[in-house]
Amino acid sequence: MKKNGFVFAVTLLLTQVFSPAMANASPMTPFRWDLAPAMDSQENFVNWMQQNRHEDPGFLVQRWRRYLAVVAVKDATDERVKEAFLWTPREEFVRPINRSHSYDSAFLDIGYGVTISGPHLVAHMTSALEVKQGDKVLEIGTGSGYQSAYLSHLTDKLWTIEIIKPLAERTRGVYDGLIAKGYSEFSAINSKQGDGYYGWPEAAPFDKIIVTCGIDHIPPPLLQQLKPGGIMVIPVGPPGAQHVLKVIKQQAADGALTVSRSDIYNGRVVPFVPFKKLEGDVIKGAH
Ligand SMILES: C[S@@+](CC[C@H](N)C(=O)[O-])C[C@H]1O[C@@H](n2cnc3c(N)ncnc32)[C@H](O)[C@@H]1O
């Protein structure tokens, strides 16, 4: 009896000590194209994500509330773009000091003099890109990595270029850490350090190109690497005062190429960090 009582007490203790750890040790449900988080209420979304993705309920509530705001002002209208917003853990891409501000409607400092764009702007630009599953997408300006992480829920063919070497390396580390945790969708992101003005010729042509730094013209190499029928979203204008353009490259039956442009904010000025220039290994001025 005494021995049985001891065994019972030890078993109970072990169960209490190890159960929570064992529950968390269950593998995270990987992202799948045919799977969606619950989107009918905050409670169901948070529960679904906690159970399947093991994410922090506090951040999930904030993500849900920002999602409602993004949808309310029509920064995301397409169902896939809305769903992708809910899949993407923005809190993993901001600096630790700013984690509590992850879902604020604001850009945030990510070091090296650059920023992660605000969630509304990212959703709006992503919507304008009209990404279809299987599209080849190039991003110029990896920064925190959030934009490409968002896009990885819309296509599995992504390339991204960042000019600041330590930032490119840090963000690669963030992706690799998250892939190891179970965010297998981020394996679709090919990243490198370099001057994005010249695109990524070895991976071209692209169906879509998104530029997240501001410039006063459309870089000819990027236009050249865009497929006919392809879309580029790019902030164009003088320093700190760009218009976000949706550029569509069209090809006529006789092969002639034309380019149409529209302002995705109907004339509103949106400031971006400058599209910098690399000379050798050194960043010198802007394009
Ligand atoms: C608004 S920030 C980052 C936004 C980013 N997409 C994100 O999700 O955090 C723009 C980024 O463009 C980068 N950048 C500027 N000029 C560049 C260039 N010539 N080639 C590649 N990246 C560049 C900056 O260093 C910065 O990280």
Q: What is the pLDDT of residues 54-92, one digit of tens each?
A: 999 999 999 999 999 999 999 999 999 999 999 999 999
Q: What is the pTM of this model?
A: 0.92
Q: What are the residues whose beta carbons fall under 8 Å from the beta carbon of 38, sequence distance 6 or more?
A: 44, 45, 47, 48
CATH number of domain containing 256: 3.40.50.150
CA torsion angle for 122, 146, 77, 32 (degrees, to 10)? Answer: 170
Q: Which residue has the higher pLDDT, 273 or 2?
A: 273
Q: How far is the CA of 114 from the centre of ligand 1 (A)?
A: 7
pLDDT of residue 25: 66
Residue from 188, 253, 195, 240 nearest 222 by CA: 195
The pLDDT confidence band at residue 24, using thresholds 50, 70 and 90, is: low
Burial 52-69 (b: 16+ CB within 10 A, else e): bbbbeeebbebbbebbee
Give the percent of the chain with pLDDT over 70: 91
For the residues 123-128, what does the mean pLDDT come to?
A: 98
Could you give the number of structural domains in the chain? 1
Packing angle, helices 57-72 and 79-87, rounded to 10: 160
Domain enclosing residue 30, as ranges: 2-286
CA torsion angle for 119, 192, 130, 237 (degrees, to 10)? Answer: 70
Choose the weakest-confidence range: 3-17, 110-124, 138-152, 166-180: 3-17
Mean of pLDDT over the chain: 93
Which candidate in 19, 100, 117, 148 is catalytic? 117
Residue with CA at minimum distance from ligand 1 atom 13: 141
The whole-angstrom separation of Cα 259 and Cα 249 is: 5
117 is catalytic: yes
> What lines the ligand 1 site, CB under 6 Å?
114-117, 140-141, 143-144, 146-147, 161-164, 167, 195-197, 212-213, 272-273, 275-276
* Pairing between β-strand 136-140 and β-strand 115-116 as defined by DSSP bridges: unpaired
- Per-residue pLDDT at 20 exceeds 70: no
pLDDT of residue 26: 84
